[in-house]
């Protein structure tokens, strides 16, 4: 399910985090997926708060319907881009949130090249393509 070089950072009955490898030499410093399982949540969507500009769409992987939510957050010297996929299974809401954490190049003395968002995010589509709602 996860590419070589991935590291399980935490796991429990209700979720976990897996760090994914990044292409070196760019402003992307970390990439990970958070898994969250919550009982009795309605509507089934990404936990936590989102800014008003969060986009939402229905998307299907392996015949399983997900609510896809995307948003970004800017910090002083970093940028966080998030994409969450949520689906219900029985009374549980399962959310996989993919996070791209980057440094704002302008804050660095020698700005690194900006990462290729499409290339770095492609692993998420591959991971979701293996998802099975068992």
User: Which residues lie closer than 8 Å to 113 by C-beta, 6 or more apart?
Assistant: 25, 26, 27
- DSSP states of 48-67: S---TT-EEEEEEETTEEEE
Q: Is 134 contained in some domain?
A: no
Range of the domain at 96: 7-129
Q: Is 125 contained in some domain?
A: yes
Q: Is 89 contained in some domain?
A: yes
Q: Is 57 contained in some domain?
A: yes
Q: Is 116 contained in some domain?
A: yes
Q: Is 1 contained in some domain?
A: no
- Is residue 124 very low, low, confident or very high in pLDDT (cuts 50, 70, 90)? confident
Number of domain units in the chain: 1
| CATH code of residue 118 | 3.40.1000
pLDDT digits (tens, 9 = 90+) for 77-107: 999 999 999 999 999 999 999 999 999 988 8
Interval 1-27 mean pLDDT: 90
> What is the reported pTM?
0.87
Q: Is 2 contained in some domain?
A: no
Within a 10 A sphere around the Cβ of 36, how many other Cβ atoms? 19
Q: Is 86 contained in some domain?
A: yes
Looking at residue 99, its pLDDT comes to 95
């Amino acid at each position: 399910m996860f590419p070589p070089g991935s590291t399980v950072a935490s796991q429990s009955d209700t979720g976990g985090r897996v760090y994914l490898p990044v292409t070196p030499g760019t402003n992307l410093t970390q990439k990970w997926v958070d898994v969250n399982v919550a009982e009795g949540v309605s509507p089934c969507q990404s936990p936590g708060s989102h800014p008003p500009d969060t986009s939402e769409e229905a998307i299907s992987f392996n015949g399983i319907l997900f609510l896809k939510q995307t948003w970004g957050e800017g910090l002083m010297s970093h940028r966080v881009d998030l994409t969450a996929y949520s689906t219900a299974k029985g009374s549980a809401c399962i959310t996989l949130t993919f996070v791209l954490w980057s440094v704002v190049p302008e804050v660095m003395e020698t700005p690194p090249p900006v990462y290729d968002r499409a290339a770095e995010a492609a692993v998420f589509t591959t991971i979701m393509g293996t998802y099975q709602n068992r």
